Amino acid sequence: MPQIVFLPHAELCPEGTAVEAKTGESVLDVALRCGIAIEHACEKSCACTTCHVIVREGFYSLEPSDELEDDMLDKAWGLEPESRLGCQALVADEDLVVEIPKYTINLASEGH
């Protein structure tokens, strides 16, 4: 069973953690299941960037992002080449190391 290591995040996961994931499960669902409250303003429908994560290891084991996800990611704070939306990044057969960015853009909570 693949493992996801979530790197330390000051607010969401201060110590970092390593958890088991099921193949086909989204990075976001794994995080939520393990008590890491990554925002997901669009309820996992690939319509925002609040679940933006950076896959530090294992990135190429994921299915490539599609055009819709790429368009959303273009709006994310701190975009990097290994950025994905947590709701769209499905665990394959390799372990992942995931960083949750320090900031997120949540237009719903910001009142825009």
Give the start-to-end residue ranges of the domains of the chain.
3-110
pLDDT recorded at residue 106: 62
What's the distance, CA 77 to chain centroid?
13
Question: With 70 as the cut, is the pLDDT of residue 107 above it?
Answer: no
In this structure, what token pair is assigned to residue 1? Answer: 């069973």
pLDDT digits (tens, 9 = 90+) for 37-83: 999 999 999 999 999 999 999 999 999 999 999 999 999 999 999 99
Superfamily of domain 3-110: Beta-grasp domain (3.10.20.30)
Q: What are the angstrom distances between the C-alpha of 14 and each of 28, 36, 67, 71, 91?
A: 17, 10, 33, 30, 23
pLDDT digits (tens, 9 = 90+) for 16-50: 999 999 999 999 999 999 999 999 999 999 999 99
Global pTM?
A: 0.92
